[in-house]
Amino acid sequence: MNKPLKVAWFSHFPIEWLPDLPPELQGIPRMHPATWQRVLWEEFAAWPNLELHMVALRGAFPRSHTFSRGNTTFHCIRTPPGSRSATLYWLDTLLVRRELSRIQPDLVQAWGSEYGSTAVAGRLPYPALVTMQGILTWYGSVFPLNRHMKLSRWLEDRSLRRADVVTCESSFGKKYLSERYPGLKLLQVEHAPHPRFSAIQRTPQLAPPRILCVGSFLYWKGADIVMKSLDRLREFEFELVWVGAKSQELENQLRNETSAEIWNRIRFKHDLTPSEVADELSRATFLLHASRADNSPNSVKEAVVAGVPVVATRTGGIPDYVTTGGNGFLFESGNVEDCTARIREALNNANFSRGIVAQETLREMRSYLSAKTMAEKFFAAYQVALRQDRRGM
């Protein structure tokens, strides 16, 4: 019998969101849940031909610790706080390389450029599959990046010029990267939302309509576009639920630019579990997503497979998931007037105002964004990366 394919992921797997953490790791701060990684892991957990190793680097770990679940071993490596990006992720490279020398994987999968994983992959002596999450080079052309994101963008560009096989989401992502890095072997693999979102039993609130936003309350997430647009629609009855952390500075600024009435209609929630987000989607009349740039937002995908109408920016991969009239409306990124018009259209639409989407569109999207399809495409990508490797391994 052939040995299972041994694959190591790094460097940010959302360990802290697992339901059965060892006592040594319980209570560590929660970072981004990266639900798409957990969806793939859960799907792969039943594959006997795979042996997975999750290498997670975090300054918040009280100490380094290793534990196993089924066909997966989690390697939690403590790093000196604040030292990773300062070394251009060479510290990550050394720590990952040391751990991989013990694991001896057949292949490594580097998740995203946000934490330098793409750079680390190019420094390792293993066949590598680079998986893009955001596309920082594109983001930086649309809105200002903070210092950490600027560094990651700089590394992203150099890393992609050396990479062999890269997966990306959305037809936009594939086109954007292929134009800038013609030497890349690019594979399109959509990151699926958790199957629980396809199983949601919808009971949308209609009196008043319940508008849901999922994502941080930030400029680049379009928080200003949302508040200014809704402020122009005060003649409609509605309430807004915003799930995500918020910038107090931006809130203070927007309170000075919009009416007090609109702020009385908003409720902020944060640190919700995926089950709690699913509950919010079950009651939402429609989702509003106003990011200035988003390659493939998971919140939109979750709403789409849940059967929630979506009003969103016509940016990145969003048009792959939201079809005008079928399951929502699209507006131009950063355009308050267009956003206002599309929200008004949704509130007046016979189906979307009642939280209903076209069933044919819903079936198509659930098939396109299934966890099973995601797992099959990633396993096929592993085979491509092994064949494509030019390191003589």
| pLDDT tens digits, one per residue of 136-171 | 999 999 889 999 889 999 999 999 998 989 999 999
How confident is the prediction for the chain on average, in pLDDT?
94
Query: What's the whole-number mean pLDDT along residues 371-377?
Result: 96
Amino acid 148: pLDDT: 87
Domain boundaries, the chain: 5-192+370-388, 196-368
Asked if pLDDT for residue 67 goes beyond 80, the answer is yes
Asked if pLDDT for residue 9 goes beyond 50, the answer is yes
Amino acid 391: pLDDT: 56
* Tens-place pLDDT, residues 171-193: 999 999 999 999 899 999 999 99
- The whole-model pTM stands at 0.90
Q: Is the Cα torsion angle 215, 217, 220, 221 positive or negative in sign?
A: positive
Decide if 278 contacts 197 (C-beta within 8 A).
yes
Distance of CA 131 to the CA centre of its chain: 12
Q: Which uninterrupted H or E stretch holds 228?
A: helix 223-231
- Per-residue confidence at 33, pLDDT binned at 50, 70, 90? confident
Query: What's the whole-number mean pLDDT along residues 225-236?
Result: 98
Which one, of 103, 113, 110, 118, lies nearest residue 72 by Cα? 103
Asked if pLDDT for residue 393 goes beyond 50, the answer is no
- What CATH code is assigned to 5-192+370-388? 3.40.50.2000
- Those residues whose C-beta lies under 8 Å from the C-beta of residue 328, and which sit 6 or more positions away, are 286, 309, 310, 311, 312, 322, 346, 352, 357
Query: What's the whole-number mean pLDDT along residues 1-8?
Result: 88
- Per-residue confidence at 390, pLDDT binned at 50, 70, 90? low
Amino acid 388: pLDDT: 85
Share above pLDDT 90 across residues of the chain, in percent, rounded to a whole number: 88
Statement: 196-368 belongs to CATH 3.50.50.60: no
**Residue 245 and residue 31: Cα distance in Å, rounded?**
11
Looking at per-residue pLDDT, the higher value among 21 and 392 belongs to 21
CA quadruple 232, 238, 239, 243: dihedral, nearest 10: -80
* Tens-place pLDDT, residues 310-356: 999 999 999 999 999 999 999 999 999 999 999 999 999 999 999 99
User: What are φ and ψ of residue 240, in 5° steps?
Assistant: -120, 130
* Tens-place pLDDT, residues 348-366: 999 999 999 999 999 999 9
- Per-residue confidence at 384, pLDDT binned at 50, 70, 90? very high
Asked if pLDDT for residue 81 goes beyond 90, the answer is no
Diameter of the chain by CA atoms? 69
Looking at per-residue pLDDT, the higher value among 197 and 392 belongs to 197
Share above pLDDT 70 across residues of the chain, in percent, rounded to a whole number: 99
**Residue 89 and residue 383: Cα distance in Å, rounded?**
27
